Copies of this chain bind each other. A is one copy, B any other.
Amino acid sequence: MTRDLPATLAALAAALPPGVLTPGPDVPARHRQDWSDIDPIEPAALLRPRSTAEVAEALAACNRLGLPVVPQGGLTGLAGGAHPTPGAVVLSLERMQGIEVLDEVGSTMTVLAGTPLAVVQAAAEAVGLHYPVDLGARGSCTIGGNLSTNAGGVRVIRYGMTRENVLGVEFVLADGTVLDLLNTMIKNNAGYDLKHLVIGAEGTLGIVTRAVLRLQPKPASVATALCAVADFAAVTDLLKHLRRRLGPGLTVFEGMWPCYFDFMADRLGTVRRPFAARHGAYVLVEASGFADEAVAQRLEAALAERIDAGAVEDVVIAASERDVRDLWAIREGVSEYGRLLGKIVGYDLGVPIAAMGTLVEAIHRDVEARWPDAHVLCYGHVGDSNLHVVVHIPSAGGHQPHDALDAVVYPLATRFGGTVSAEHGIGILKRAYLPLARSPAAIAVMHRIKGALDPAGILNPGKVLPPAERG
């Protein structure tokens, strides 16, 4: 930047159509932070373009002025990817909402990036189709944010991450170039598939303005069961059996360790305890079926077989919508951490499924050795090799030892062949730990890609990539 910030902002305002730029002091408070629990920052300004052309104008001007830009979607990220950085403007897609095309024959939907996930889900349902990416923040998170973080959720075991549910994308490069890759076809092997650059790049390579989503047939019936087993070996045994019995009918396989399940069952208050006894591990299972498929009977038969074999200790099968809500209640207790625990430190680890049980034991052992009063709660999308861990140390109160905990947990995860982010992304919070999950050669290539697409480095600086090695 060659000029001071006020002069640069004045030049930016002059370059943009009226109404796009809001000066820093007038920026609504919600743009000062995301869900990452990092301290709020007042952005230098808020840009709210109304069209792809305005996004392009804004980025071209910022690029020319050397002014960094932080893209913002629904602001529900947990890693700080959309958190303002000092001296940067934030660019929100909130004015670019709406479903533009819904093609029932092609099973595709073209949407503007600022559209909330829940709106997309409802529009698909309305025509008997299904957009299967689903996560707790569905009412606030946006399609642009989902793409930029390659969002996961509870049905990845069947439908994959956001990346697998996107056919096309329109995005704007740092210099204002618009890339229209709004492909609606399942197959399109015409040169490099550039949409994969921007999906999961957390706004560091381009700003997503539109997406073509792939829709699925909507299941006609869903069956839900909660299973109690002796240990983690029995969890993987159950996964293997249900996969073979149900194939793609297995749409949810959520594991809960006793540290999580018993804590929630005891503390949530509103939840009936589903089992009389305590068990070594718990699994929430959902099977989805289509016409004439008798999915509930098939799930029951598959589970009965495992009970007879002694591999499952107890099962509760939902017989009503009310039962389904009850069975999900403990798993969905994650939204109550604040009330139940106060400040927490959360982890979104990936680890090969076979190593997951050992990793949980090691985290308990090492964290509790150092902080004997620690609560360590473990649960996750077992079928997707994704383990969530939440730690709260009562004696630390409002100042949980993030860095000291990170230094224990991340090296354990990667020692077992795991990764520091399965679905939440790297953002600010995990940038320093990326080298645990990716080799120096891989990070050097990421920098080469960043340099090729955003040579001035204006897009979401300080996110995802650790500083480049001096060569």
Among A107, A156, A288, which residue has the most Cβ atoms of chain B within 10 A? Answer: A107
A177 to chain B, nearest CB (A): 5
Task: State which residues 210-225 of A face B: CB under 8 Å.
Answer: 216-219
Q: Give the CA-CA distance A3 to B164 in the complex, in Å.
A: 47
- Asked if A5 is an interface residue, CB under 8 A from chain B, the answer is no
Taking a contact as CB atoms closer than 8 A, the residue among B173, B239, B424 that contacts A189 in the complex is B424
- Asked if A26 is an interface residue, CB under 8 A from chain B, the answer is no
- Asked if A203 is an interface residue, CB under 8 A from chain B, the answer is no
Does A240 contact B105, Cβ atoms closer than 8 Å? Answer: yes
With contact pairs A105-B354, A244-B291, A247-B248 given, residues A419 and B196 touching in the complex (Cβ less than 8 Å) = no
Does A173 contact B445, Cβ atoms closer than 8 Å? Answer: yes
- Asked if A334 is an interface residue, CB under 8 A from chain B, the answer is no
Task: Determine the chain B residues whose CB is within 8 A of the CB of A422 once the complex forms.
Answer: 185, 187-189
Task: Determine the chain B residues whose CB is within 8 A of the CB of A445 once the complex forms.
Answer: 173, 177, 179, 194, 453
Does A187 contact B423, Cβ atoms closer than 8 Å? Answer: yes
- Asked if A391 is an interface residue, CB under 8 A from chain B, the answer is no
Does A449 contact B452, Cβ atoms closer than 8 Å? Answer: yes
Total interface residues in chain A, CB < 8 Å: 103
Taking a contact as CB atoms closer than 8 A, the residue among B187, B244, B290 that contacts A381 in the complex is B187
Residue of B nearest to A246 (CB): B290
Contact with B along A421-465 (1 / 0, CB 8 A): 111111000100010011101111110110111000000000011
Does B302 contact A298, Cβ atoms closer than 8 Å? Answer: no
Task: Determine the chain B residues whose CB is within 8 A of the CB of A452 once the complex forms.
Answer: 448-449, 451-452
Task: Determine the chain B residues whose CB is within 8 A of the CB of A383 once the complex forms.
Answer: 186
Residue of B nearest to A193 (CB): B200
Q: Give the CA-CA distance A244 to B385 in the complex, in Å.
A: 30
Taking a contact as CB atoms closer than 8 A, the residue among B181, B186, B421 that contacts A386 in the complex is B186
Does B419 contact A185, Cβ atoms closer than 8 Å? Answer: yes
- Asked if A18 is an interface residue, CB under 8 A from chain B, the answer is no
Task: State which residues 286-305 of A face B: CB under 8 Å.
Answer: 288-294, 297-298, 301-302
Does B197 contact A192, Cβ atoms closer than 8 Å? Answer: yes
With contact pairs A353-B106, A445-B453, A464-B191 given, residues A186 and B293 touching in the complex (Cβ less than 8 Å) = no
Task: Determine the chain B residues whose CB is within 8 A of the CB of A66 once the complex forms.
Answer: none
- Asked if A160 is an interface residue, CB under 8 A from chain B, the answer is yes
Does B350 contact A187, Cβ atoms closer than 8 Å? Answer: yes
Taking a contact as CB atoms closer than 8 A, the residue among B177, B200, B290, B420 that contacts A192 in the complex is B200
A75 to chain B, nearest CB (A): 18
Does A240 contact B104, Cβ atoms closer than 8 Å? Answer: yes
Taking a contact as CB atoms closer than 8 A, the residue among B103, B156, B158, B191 that contacts A187 in the complex is B156
Q: Give the CA-CA distance A445 to B181 in the complex, in Å.
A: 12
Does A354 contact B194, Cβ atoms closer than 8 Å? Answer: no
Q: Give the CA-CA distance A248 to B173 in the complex, in Å.
A: 36
Q: Give the CA-CA distance A451 to B158 in the complex, in Å.
A: 37
- Asked if A25 is an interface residue, CB under 8 A from chain B, the answer is no
Residue of B nearest to A420 (CB): B190
Does A245 contact B191, Cβ atoms closer than 8 Å? Answer: no
Does B103 contact A186, Cβ atoms closer than 8 Å? Answer: no
Does B189 contact A149, Cβ atoms closer than 8 Å? Answer: yes
Does B189 contact A217, Cβ atoms closer than 8 Å? Answer: no
- Asked if A243 is an interface residue, CB under 8 A from chain B, the answer is yes
Q: Give the CA-CA distance A434 to B381 in the complex, in Å.
A: 41
Interface residues of A, Cβ cutoff 8 Å to B: 103-107, 128, 149-150, 152, 156-158, 160-161, 163-164, 173, 177-181, 183-194, 196-197, 199-201, 205, 216-219, 236, 239-240, 243-249, 288-294, 297-298, 301-302, 350-354, 381, 383-386, 417-426, 430, 434, 437-439, 441-446, 448-449, 451-453, 464-465
29 intermolecular pairs with C-beta atoms under 8 Å apart = A103-B352, A105-B236, A105-B239, A105-B240, A106-B352, A152-B189, A161-B186, A177-B444, A179-B439, A183-B419, A186-B383, A186-B386, A187-B384, A187-B422, A188-B437, A189-B421, A189-B423, A189-B425, A190-B350, A190-B420, A191-B464, A192-B205, A192-B446, A192-B464, A216-B247, A217-B246, A247-B289, A291-B301, A448-B452
19 further interface pairs, Cβ-Cβ under 8 Å (given A187-B422, A191-B443):
A106-B354, A149-B189, A160-B186, A177-B441, A185-B384, A185-B419, A187-B384, A187-B385, A188-B422, A189-B422, A190-B421, A190-B430, A191-B464, A192-B197, A192-B205, A196-B197, A245-B290, A291-B298, A292-B297
